[in-house]
Structure 1
């Protein structure tokens, strides 16, 4: 039995933002996916989280069914402002934010820049820690651009397997169906932001409870990166999912849920 409720579009921060809602009860939770992950690709996670929380999975600007255009601002600051505006438009008095990869960076910038009164908890899942003067993000831009361009012509699950060899047939099908909705301008701008925006400067200014979830088999966050984050956010809670790469719930779904513990107030 599904707990998917509906999809909707709202005008927030001057653009059309599309989201999918699951559950409808408990603490509201805004889920922000990564650089080429439309909201629908996180549906299987939202189904589980929706058993306990009121989940809103966002299509980040330039992805999925949210607004995209040649002139749209795809900066990290604009994306962060989207989340604050979305929570306001939805009338969320108290809520948590979960961001994966790029979504984690958006969540960090949003929490520091806007300090929303209703924001109670942050979950940051394997965020890129590249930035000015730091090592580059381990995945190269061509991986994203080449797969997206191929999806624009039409792409099968088998075609997608060349880019995501460990994924299941169902996961590959869904990505092949939806990847074409990711605007290349948005992808390039966000990828460049990984290297140009310094999220480390934001971390000491975030005082709310924060869970940092790390992929045990990933190379996005190294031990020294985790130590640096702990130095900047002494109260951060760190959870490792040992048997997962960067796309944690795709690699070890149960491990992903277990890593939450009671951080959100109830086990997932």
Structure 2
């Protein structure tokens, strides 16, 4: 197996570092990572699936060595969705399976809604459906409490506090609270810190949270409920697999409740002993689920 990294200059105005593996004439799978990671989220799946699939895993805008636009609005969800489609065009892919985790999953949900002609199958790993997530932030007190970190990340003063804390301390006290430390040895820790230290990287990563229109009320707030939460929402048309680590303390299992109403062809795989970072916390389960789903025909 040969894994290569190629830099793509996209018409969306960004350069993305993209990891490629597998035969170019095989069915394509594009993997989208989330915060605060990179294509390495999918290192186990890339290794396991590239014998029979053309595997593509970009470092999304703002992350690792990819471009880091200055403006907050450059990280609104429509921008990485446009990057995704532009990358697929550059690779000559008329259709592909799309896999997303965390923010990559948020982009995958949005892309599936807006580009059903390009995405043949959708796989989501611990990333909430946008409508269900927004609704839960109003209706589910536990999810609202668990999501207060988003308010912190949006605070313009967060970088100053991070600077005082230090990236190493953030890794050890904040990041590891949501991850399995057994799966993150010294080598992986060093890779994270190197990527986070890339000039502009942490602000760019935080700007994904700042650019979204998601409403995150404070725990004790009684905000006016948006009318759209009680209206219809379009369904995802393509076959969809949702893999969920049930020990996720940031995105709670309530995100699975009622999901079938918004996905026409849904399969859910619950992984009891995995948390939020399920692609590398439970790599065998995730890889097996993806392989069985994509190979189902």
- TM-score by length of structure 2 reads 0.75
* Contact 1:211/1:239, CA 8 A, preserved across alignment: yes
**Structure-1 separation of matches of 2:98 and 2:160:** 29
Coordinate RMSD, CA, aligned = 3.4
From 160, 180, 203, the counterpart of 2:171: 160
Instruction: Say yes or no: does 1:140 pair with 2:149.
Output: yes
Equivalent of residue 201 in structure 2, options 160, 183, 190: 183
CA distance in structure 2 between the partners assigned to 1:152 and 1:91 by the alignment: 45
SS in 2 for 1:68: coil
Which residue pairs with 1:77 in the alignment?
A: 78
11-20 vs 128-137, greater mean Cα deviation: 128-137
The separation in 1 between residues aligned to 2:170 and 2:206, in whole angstroms, is: 22
Give the distance between the partners of 2:253 and 2:41, measured in 1 at CA. 29
The offset of 1:203, in angstroms, is 6.6
Supply the distance in 2 between the matched residues of 1:148 and 1:55 (Cα, whole angstroms): 38
- Whether the 8 Å CA contact 1:31–1:98 is kept in 2: the answer is yes
* Inter-partner Cα distance in structure 2 for 1:99 and 1:170: 24
| Higher RCO (CA 8 Å, separation ≥ 6 residues) | 2
Provide structure 2 residue ranges, at least 5 long, that are not aligned to the other structure: 217-225
Q: Normalising by structure 1, what TM-score?
A: 0.82
- CA pair 150-263 structure 1, distance change in 2 beyond 3 A: farther
Equivalent position of 1:3 in the other structure? 2
> 1:245 offset after TM fit, Å?
0.3
Q: Deviations over 1:187-246 (max 9, x none)?
A: 333224273499x99973321111111112113444442122112214211011221100
Q: What residue in structure 2 maps to residue 99 of structure 1?
A: 100
Give the helix-richer structure, 1 or 2. 2
Kept in 1, the 8 Å contact 2:105–2:124? The answer is yes
Give the aligned partner of residue 90 of structure 2. Answer: 89
Higher Cα radius of gyration: 2
Instruction: State whether residues 162 and 170 of structure 2, in contact with CA within 8 Å, keep that contact through their aligned partners in structure 1.
Output: no
For 1:7 and 1:19, the matched residues in 2 are separated by: 5
Partner of 1:23: 22
Report 1:1-268 matches (<5 A): 2-25=1-24, 26-71=26-71, 73-115=74-116, 117-128=117-128, 130-131=133-134, 134=138, 135-136=143-144, 138=147, 140-141=149-150, 142=152, 149=162, 160-162=171-173, 163-164=175-176, 166=181, 167-181=184-198, 183-192=201-210, 193=212, 195-196=214-215, 204-260=234-290, 262-265=292-295
